[in-house]
Structure 1
């Protein structure tokens, strides 16, 4: 009986050392979760149960369970590096470029992602990150998850159709209205400001607005605005008037039409027509200035940067200063994470024991929040593992001594005459 007990102890100690060795080997693996060996005693039973004097027949490795505790989060310099703070897993699917083209779904805590040649967000194994793709208007609808893809190609330009121009005109200025405007002579106007407008091909054009103050009346003050594009007067009418009451508030229609024909002709649609909206403009006794400026047109642009917020919303910034919502990262949760089946490459597979995957947006349900430009370290504590290794070594040595002692007892019995 002693041989059986000792051998089972040696086997259990060997298994424990295997688990500890695997933990130590993965101490630097991003998103790795340490395991522990769990043991149970063994008894030989009969129809009438276990005798009260039974010594037991050894130990059995009951399970090797993973510990899904939070690892330390380390900042990085890459916006596509992500860490989950609290519960949940990234959801990835084996892409068509991998050997598993059927699209097996995996769970992982490794947030090391990058963009492949097709613009998909993938991990080092080529598996595609899952989430919800935003509509052209930037709205994310949380239906079935799909492959997240960035628009890395050139985005089309948009012709300017509306300019928002909030200004404050200095009421202390001397009137110049009635003087023939000459943009090269500053004494023919009171103030000017400018912005860029775009034609249908995305070519930029400089819109400059010159302001001439009229003589104030008992009801208010008029300002004549002259629109020039690329140094030339806009297509007639190129002037319009802003009227401010005695409290400095704008009282006239705030929107004015402006149109021009690019010169020289560049192949874009002509004429280029848009409105200038002066809503919110004022006339107060302080220096003239632009208080707000919007423009719905833009030049073509390419992807410049990616930002992912804590709720998983992915925003792309382009070289034309446009920002677009690409989609949202999905998080998978399980009722029993310890029931997941490890499959290598920092992946887990759903099992009956783990329960079905529950998909949520970061920060909703039981899903944790995301931290962009950061990675979750392995939760292995090397100090603890090395102490456990010493304990397992002693465990192994003690069981080996049991076998040795039993051998000596048996040898004594054989030597009896």
Structure 2
């Protein structure tokens, strides 16, 4: 029995090592969120036994949970680099209409002047009126953001785009050479009843499911959505020192369980030798 108990400990230590290794490997990944392995003991006894006379039967992996703590912000001075200070997520959509959520705010313009993320998915915005006030927060009203290169004024003149700005609330504003400003939409931030229930899809992207609950959309600087900072990116929340200490601890755990298996094997061999 001790062999199988130590074997379960060996498997648990391996899972812990794998999780920590993945955290360390992604220490430089933009907006990466570290994970932690949660373990539980295995115990069972018959009706004729008491807990005081029965040893445990090992350990099992209960699950991996992501830690959605805030990562440090790194200034980039690029307007379309966005970071969230808070619990919100950027909402993006693929060309097929698949909705995803990300903390990776490294956005840019594609060949069609749509604002896209590192995977090519288009950032989603809430509709606004001429004054920049959001008119709807419904999922059905989310739209892609396309940045114009110019506009035609009342005199029929074509005026070129001068700059693009994004406020702390997420309002995207185009400023033209004649000083005219035009709101293009407000960055749609999403929050969830349970962040830990989100399903990872890579590149600091997540998908909603039954465990996370449905997304609630809103603007920056309101509620749990957090504040948007233009010209900055969120770094990974992995503390390399903490992870290296945990890595050593997991390695020692692995070695101890391996030693226990070796001891159990030696004792079994000794018993066999007695019989012969």
Q: Tell whether the structures are fold-level matches, with TM greater than 0.5.
A: yes
Distance 1:11 1:83, change over 3 A: same
Contact 1:39 1:59 in 2 (8 A): yes
Task: Show the counterpart of 1:315.
Answer: 173
Listed as ranges, the matches of 1:185-196 within 5 Å are: none
Tell me how far 1:143 sits from its aligned partner.
Answer: 3.7
Distance 2:142 2:242 in 1: 41
Task: Show the counterpart of 1:346.
Answer: 204
Asked if 1:408 corresponds to 2:266, the answer is yes
Asked if 1:384 corresponds to 2:248, the answer is no
Asked if 1:369 corresponds to 2:230, the answer is no
Tell me how far 1:358 sits from its aligned partner.
Answer: 1.1
Distance 2:201 2:21 in 1: 18
Two-structure CA RMSD over aligned residues (Å): 1.7
Larger strand percent: 1
Match of 1:110, SS state, is coil
Instruction: Name the TM-score, length of structure 2 as normaliser.
Output: 0.93
Query: Structure 1 unaligned runs (5+)?
Result: 96-100, 160-200, 203-299
Distance 1:50 1:359, change over 3 A: farther
Distance 2:105 2:133 in 1: 24
Tell me how far 1:136 sits from its aligned partner.
Answer: 5.2
Distance 2:160 2:105 in 1: 25
Contact 1:44 1:50 in 2 (8 A): no
Distance 1:23 1:118 in 2: 36
Task: Show the counterpart of 2:257.
Answer: 399
Asked if 1:119 corresponds to 2:113, the answer is yes
Distance 1:153 1:387 in 2: 52
Distance 2:119 2:13 in 1: 34
Distance 2:119 2:271 in 1: 61
Distance 1:367 1:46 in 2: 51
Match of 1:38, SS state, is strand
Tell me how far 1:386 sits from its aligned partner.
Answer: 0.5
Tell me the alpha carbon deviations over residues 43-88 of structure 1, each in whole angstroms, 9 at most, x when there is no partner.
1344667643111111101111000000001111210111110111
Listed as ranges, the matches of 1:1-400 within 5 Å are: 1-46=1-46, 51-95=51-95, 101=96, 103-135=97-129, 138-144=132-138, 145-159=141-155, 201-202=156-157, 300-400=158-258
Query: Structure 2 unaligned runs (5+)?
Result: none
Distance 1:65 1:8 in 2: 20
Distance 2:123 2:49 in 1: 54
Distance 1:48 1:88 in 2: 53
Match of 1:412, SS state, is helix
Match of 1:301, SS state, is strand
Instruction: Name the TM-score, length of structure 1 as normaliser.
Output: 0.63
Contact 2:115 2:147 in 1 (8 A): no
Higher relative contact order (CA 8 A, sep 6+): 2
Question: How many residues align structurally?
Answer: 273
Tell me how far 1:348 sits from its aligned partner.
Answer: 0.9
Distance 1:70 1:336 in 2: 16
Distance 1:60 1:314, change over 3 A: same
Larger helix percent: 2
Match of 2:152, SS state, is coil
Distance 1:389 1:375 in 2: 28
Distance 1:341 1:57 in 2: 31
